[in-house]
Amino acid sequence: MAKVIGGITTSHIPAVGNAIAQELFEDPYWKPFFDAYPPVHEWLAEQKPDIVVNIYNDHGLGFFLDKMPTFAIGAAHEYHNEDEGWGIPAIPPMPGDAKLSWHIIEGMVEDEFDITSCQELAVDHGFTVPMQLFWPGLLDNPNLPRAIPISANTVQHPIPTLKRALDFGKSLGKALRSYPEDVKIVVLGTGGLSHQLDGERAGHINKKFDQMCMDKIVHDPEALTKISRMELVKEAGSQGTELIMWMMMRGALGDDVDVLAKNYHIPISNTGAGMLLLECKD
C-alpha cells in the first residue's frame, strides 16, 4: 500500500526562481532563505519518495479569472512549464503519474469533493519553484519523484475556507493511503505566508500571525479553521490566502507529525517566507 511519509511547506515566489537561476545562494540577501533547505535535501535523499503531490495556486497560466476551479488535480503523464514574463527560465516537462491521479480523483469525488480533472495542465512558478528548491537540478537529480499538481483557488473570491482546505487534505490523504501500489509519497504545501503585492497595503507582512500559523498547523491545525476568509485577508494580506495550500497539505498527513526542520525569514520579495519539514509518525 502507498505511504504518506511527510509534508513540506515553502514560499513559491517568482523571485526565488530567478535567484536559483542566477545561483545567488550565498548572496547576503538570499542566504538566510536558502540556508533553510539543505536539511530538506538530506531528508529527501534519504527517504527517496516516489511521488510528490505539489499543492499550489495557479497565477494565470493554467487558469484565469474567467475560469478558476476551486480545486483542480492534474491527471497527465507530464506537465509543461511556460514563460510567465518574470524572466524565470522555463523548466523541462515534469513526469506525472496519471494512474495515481485518477485514483485520487475517484476517491475524493466519492468523498463528495467536486474536482476539476486536468489531462493537460500548464504549471507556473507556484509549482516549479518548490520543485527546484527541493530537488536541485530537477531531471538531473536521480531522486526526482513523479509529480501530481493540485491547484487551489486563492485568487477569485469566494475562495475556500481554511476548514474546507483542511478537510480536502484529509480526503486526499485517505485516497493516497488507499492506493494499492507500494509507493512513498511526500506532499507539498506551497505559497505564503503573509504578503500583499498591490493596493494601499502593498508590502504588508504580519510576522506575529505567520509564526502563530506555523506553530498551530503542526499540532493543532483545527484551531486555524476558526479564521474566516476575510480575517485571513486582513491579517495575512490579499496574497496571504495561500495559507490554504498549507492546510491542504497538513490535512493529508494525519494526526501526528514531527517537525524535522523549520525556518521563517522576512522579507523575501515582500513576503513572509516560512519552511516546515514535517514527518508522519504513522
Establish whether 157 is a catalytic residue: no
Q: How far is CA 44 from the centre of its chain?
A: 16
Establish whether 265 is a catalytic residue: no
Judge whether 159 and 238 are in contact, CB under 8 Å: no
Comparing CA positions, the residue from 26, 85, 97 lying closest to residue 61 is 85
Residue 125 CB-density burial (10 A; 0-12 exposed, 13-18 middle, 19+ buried): buried
Can you tell me whether residue 35 is helix, strand or coil? coil
CA dist 225 and 219 (Å) reads: 13
DSSP H or E segment with residue 228: none
Comparing CA positions, the residue from 144, 273, 155, 262 lying closest to residue 205 is 273
Active-site residue (options: 125, 157, 204, 265): 125
CA dist 143 and 167 (Å) reads: 30
Active-site residue (options: 12, 59, 195, 204): 195
Amino acid at 127: F
Amino acid at 217: I
Catalytic residues: 125, 195
